[in-house]
Chains A and B, each alone.
Chain A
Amino acid sequence: MNRSLLWVIAGVLLVGMPFVYGAPYPMHIIITILIWSFAYTSWSMMGRVGLVSLGHGGFMGVGAYATALLWNNLGLSPWLGIPVGLVCAALLALVVAWPCFRFRITGHYFALVTLALSGIVLQVITATRDLTGGSLGYTPNRVPGGSSFWAFQFTEKHTWYMIALIVWAAGLAIWYAVERSMLRYALEAISEDEDAAAAAGVNVTLEKLKITVLSAMMTAMAGALYCQYQMFVSPDTVSGISVSLQMVFAVVVGGLYVALGPTVGAVITILLGEGLRIGFGTSAVGWDNLIYGLLLVVFIIFLPKGILGSIMGAFRRAPAKAAA
C-alpha cells in the first residue's frame, strides 16, 4: 500500500477518534501520551546521532516554568510566554552545549555534563521557592470560567486532544525534515568521526549546536504544553534527572532510529505508569523508575533498535528474502 495513503488514513482516524469515542479517562491518557511522545521525539533527534543528553528534563522545566511564571506574575499570555520559554531553553542549550562541542566533550562525558544540567535546573527551581513554589509545585492562575484562548487554558478534553495531536504531528514532521536534510548526513558523519567530518568541510561545532538548540526548544515546548494541560507542574514531573532518564528509556525501548519509535516508547511508559498506579496504588510509587532502569539494560543488550525498530527491520528484511 501507498505510504502517503497510509498517513492520510491514520490522520483521519486520529482526528475523528474523539467524536466516536471520547470518554474522559482514555482521552486523558491519550493526550498525555501525545505530549510525552512529542517530548521523546525531541530528545531522539539528538540521541539518534550519538548526542545522548541526560539534561532534557531541564529544558522541559524551563519551558513549563517560564510560561507559567510569566502568566502569573506579568499576565503575559502563553501565546507569548511559550516563545519566551523556548528562547530561554535555546539560550540554556547554547550555554551548556557550546563549551562541550568546542572542547570536544563527547560520548559519556557529554552525557555527564548534561546530567549536571538537569540537576541544576531542579536545584534552581527548589531554591527559588518564593517564586516557583519549590518542590511543592506551581499552578498557573486559572481564568474565571476555566477556558480562555488567550490564557491557553481549556477545560474541554477534546480541545486538548486536538492541540496535542497537532503538536505531536508537527514533531513527526520535524523529525522527517531533519531525516531528509544534509544536517542529518553531517550529524551521522560527526557521530562516527569528527575529524573526518571536518575534513569534508563540516563545521562540527555549528552543526551539533543546530540540532541541540532545535531539540531543546521542542522539549521546552513539550514542558509548556504539559504544564498548561495539567495546570500544575512540580520539579519532579517536568525537570530533574528521573524525567531525563525516562526520556532515554522510552526512546530506547520504542526505537531510536524510526520516527514513531519515541511514540511507541511513550505508549509503553505511560501505560506502565498508569497500570502500576491503578494496580498497586501509592505503594508502587517509584516502581516505574526501577522497572525502567531494568528494562533499559535489557533492551540495550537484547533489542538495541527498540521494539518498533526491530519489528520494522524484520518486515523490511522479509520481503527482500522472499524476492531473492
Chain B
Amino acid sequence: MLEVRGLTKRFGGFTAVNNVSFKVDEGEILGLIGPNGSGKSTIFNMLSGTLAPNGGSILFQGREIGGSAPHAIINSGVGRTFQIPRPFRRLSILENVVLAGFYGQGGGQGGHSRAAAETSAREALEMVGLPTNPSTRVDGLGAAGLKKLELAKAIATKPRLLLADESLGGLDEGEMDQAADMLRRIRAELGITIIWVEHIMGVLMRVVDRVMVLDHGEKIAEGLPTEVVRDPRVIEVYLGTDADAVHAVAEAARA
C-alpha cells in the first residue's frame, strides 16, 4: 500500500531524515519508534505533504505522492494526526470534525455533501468517544480529549492509511492503554492501515505487527517487536537515552 524509498529531509545543513526506505502492507499496523528528535514526525510531515522531501520517493497505492500538496494527499486517502494536537478553537468539536469530513473525503472541493460530512463526523466522534453535541467547545478538552479529537478529524477524512503521531507522553497508564486499544479498533472496524509513531516502547509493542526504529534520521532496525527489542543497536540507542525506555525494552522482551 505504501512504499517509501530513499526518503531524505534536510533543514539547512542538518539532515533530519536520511535515506529511509520501508514498506507498509494493507491492513498492517507498523510501529515507528526512536528517541526524541530522531525524525519520526518529519517522516510523517513528508508522507502527508506538510513538508516536501529533499530526496526519495513515496508511492501510495501505486501513485507517487512525494512533494504533492497536503490537501491532495489527504484527499487521496491518507489521514494524519499531529503530535501536539492542533484543534481549531474557534469551531466546536463537532465542527472541527465536520470540516475534515467535508474537505478531506476524496471528493475534494464540494465533492461531498454537508450531510455526508456530518454523518462521517458523528461516526468518527463516536468511534473515539467524544460528544457529538453541536455546541461543545474544544476548550473543555484535556490532553487525552485533544488527542481523541486529532484522531476523529483524521478518521472523518475516510483514510486508507492513518498516520498516528501519538506520543502518549502526557497520558497516564489507563489513558495510554485506551489510546492503544483505539488504534486496534480503528483497524479492526474501519479496515484502516496504520503507522503509529511513539517514543515510549511499552504500549506500542503490544499492538503493532512490525516495528521500525529510527535514530538520528536513519533506520537502524525493522522487524517483529520481539526481534527488534533484542537488536543490540536498538538496545544501545535506548540505553543511551532514557532509563524508562530501557525498562520498557526489558519488559517487552520478557513478555
Contact = CB atoms under 8 A, between A and B. Distances in A.
B86 A196 contact: yes
B100 A200 contact: yes
B114 A182 contact: yes
A201 B104 contact: yes
A185 B71 contact: no
Contacts of A193: 86, 88
Interface string B56-91: 000000000000011110110000101000111111
Interface stretch (A65-73, A202-210, A215-223): A202-210
A186 B103 contact: yes
Nearest to B159: A201
B88 A188 contact: yes
A185 B94 CA distance: 11
Q: Please classify the interface of chain A as helix (H, G, I), strand (E, B), loop, or mixed, using the class held by over half of its residues.
A: helix
A199 interface: yes
B153 A198 contact: no
A189 interface: yes
Contact of A203 (B86, B88, B108): B108
A30 B180 CA distance: 64
B91 to A, nearest CB: 6
B71 to A, nearest CB: 4
Contacts of A198: 49-50, 69-71, 74
A182 B103 contact: yes
Given A198-B70, A203-B69, 8 more contacts: A182-B117, A185-B91, A193-B86, A196-B82, A196-B87, A201-B71, A201-B108, A202-B71
17 contacts: A182-B103, A185-B91, A185-B95, A188-B88, A191-B90, A195-B50, A195-B70, A196-B86, A198-B70, A199-B70, A199-B74, A199-B80, A199-B82, A200-B103, A200-B104, A201-B75, A204-B71
Q: Which 5 pairs from chain A and chain B are nearest by CB? A: A201-B104, A196-B86, A201-B103, A198-B70, A200-B100
